[in-house]
Structure 1
Amino acid sequence: MNMKKRQLEVCLSPAIYDKHANNENIVVVIDVLRATSTICTAFANGVRQIIPVATVEEARQKKEEGYTVASERDGYVLDFADFGNSPFNFSVDKVKDKDIVYSTTNGTRCIHMASHSKEVLIGSFLNLSALAGYLIEQDVPVLLFCASWKDRFSLEDTVCAGALAERLLASGNYDSICDAVTASTDLWSIAKNDLNQYSLKAAQKGRLASKGLDDCIEFCHQLDFTDLIPYYSDGRLLSKTNGTNKK
């Protein structure tokens, strides 16, 4: 492979996404707790496609049209939704061969924000190796987009971005002059020896625990649960592996 080195950046919050936005980037949306972990789990469990919508009103309309809807705000399942935003909700019996409408507080909004990009991929610890392998093969600059929490810095998303950035930089195919890349890889170097223990420091862990929704924390920090890479296309999420469309 003889490619000029590509630029790698990390965006730490949707509040500054416009400073990074570029139509030529591949954007990887990362929302570890819980949207992108849930999306990866859904495809691993056989969902046909996911239709991400940004607003409660859109999700409600899709429910009225007869879709199965998974939707939450601030962790709480919306009153019209079939289920919420835990990866454990997206079990094989609920999602296999189905189309699911999906709307969350942070993650699905970021997918739509990045939809102008060359490609939008879904990243998490659960598909880290597959995603890194795919990106290393692409001759395109990459932006790792942390969904954060209501535009505020998110520890778990940044650590995941650092894990991915470390692999991309180690490949020799990427350069970076982005301080957020340095910060995220430094955090990953601290966290990686005991990721589950480090994850307990995340504010989102406490937010989920206060609602009894923290049962998936350890699962969401599991490396390489799946080799599928969800991607956004024409208003829906599909999946691929090693660059080949699965659906």
Structure 2
Amino acid sequence: MKIHLLWKKEEIEERHINEDKIAVVFDVLLATSTIASCLASGARQIIPVLNPEEAFRMKDKLNSATEDTLLAGETDGLPVEGFINPLPSILNSQVAGKTIILSTTNGTVAIRKAAPAKKVYTASLLNGEAVGKRIADTHDNETIVAICSGSRNNFCMEDYYGAGYFIHCLIREMDDAELTDSARSAQLFYENMKEEAVSVLAQSSVGQMLSDYGFYEDVAYVSQRGIMDVVPRLNEAGTVLMDEGDTFSEHGPAEKQRHHL
């Protein structure tokens, strides 16, 4: 298995992402953490969209079939008017049985850009171990591309750290793996800072911004490693669902532990 890493979503090109690749998208603050948290809290599905305008169009389309739909979205860390702020502390108690249409500045854009890949998973610190195990169990001799979403064409330290955690977990499950320098550097960064997750996220530019807005509690929450067994995957219809093989209970997907805000 070959493992590569892209520093930001703007690096996605056809040669990087096509039907020969398995993509794993990271937007640790906050889209892919929010996706994991929503699915662990019982959401039916997440629909990632490019912008609020597409979100409204999608909701109008879905309302002909169901009213169990929530709009969640932010632009530059602030909630969009008419949308729920896409923070775990706000969404977790509202999503059970619901479809979430999610619009974020970077993460949902990265997921959509990665769609040409053979499979697209989303991961964070919350569920990076589960995604790594699933890929190790179901894919062999594939090329895995970890995609850091970044922020408006800038590198983001928290995505790099989250990708390093995922790579650390993935190669722990395998006998052999070939890492590019970018993937190896993320792995080493995580392993050298693995006990500093809260500090890494809080000191990142996005973490500082969220803390300034009063959302430090969410930054701390999503810094927890491996507490969720959910494996979110983008399907051909553009919807993120639990990947086949996850464990469900009557109350929704199983979590390793319940770490509520």
TM-score, scaled relative to structure 2: 0.85
Separation in 2 of the partners of 1:41 and 1:88?
10
Q: What is the total number of aligned residue pairs between the two structures?
A: 239
Deviates more, 1:12-21 or 1:215-224: 12-21
Residue of structure 1 equivalent to 2:239: 236
Separation in 1 of the partners of 2:31 and 2:162?
13
Residue of structure 2 equivalent to 1:167: 169
1:39 aligns with 2:35: yes
Shift of 1:75: 1.2
Separation in 1 of the partners of 2:130 and 2:170?
12
Residue of structure 2 equivalent to 1:215: 217
Shift of 1:211: 1.8
Separation in 2 of the partners of 1:135 and 1:105?
27
Shift of 1:163: 1.3
- Which runs of 5 or more residues in structure 1 are unaligned? 1-5
Separation in 1 of the partners of 2:215 and 2:197?
19
The equivalent position to 2:12 in structure 1, one of 1, 4, 17, is 17
- State the percentage of identical aligned residues: 27
Question: Per-residue CA shift, 1:63-112, capped at 9, x if unaligned?
Answer: 4454420011011111121x1121122223x1111111111000000111
Q: Could you say if the C-alpha distance between residues 76 and 63 of structure 1 is closer, same or farther in structure 2, counting changes exceeding 3 Å?
A: farther
Separation in 2 of the partners of 1:72 and 1:63?
16
* SS of match in other structure, 2:126: helix
Residue of structure 1 equivalent to 2:229: 227
Shift of 1:124: 0.6
Separation in 1 of the partners of 2:101 and 2:201?
29
Which structure shows the bigger proportion of residues in helix conformation? 1
Q: CA RMSD in A?
A: 2.0
| C-alpha contact 2:202 2:216 (8 A) present in aligned 1 | no
Question: Per-residue CA shift, 1:8-62, capped at 9, x if unaligned?
Answer: 0011111211152232111011111000000000000000111111122111223
| C-alpha contact 1:130 1:241 (8 A) present in aligned 2 | no
> Runs ≥4 in structure 1, deviation > 6 angstroms?
243-247
TM-score, scaled relative to structure 1: 0.90
* SS of match in other structure, 2:197: helix
- Which runs of 5 or more residues in structure 2 are unaligned? 64-68, 254-261
Separation in 2 of the partners of 1:57 and 1:197?
35
The equivalent position to 2:158 in structure 1, one of 142, 156, 162, is 156
* SS of match in other structure, 1:199: helix
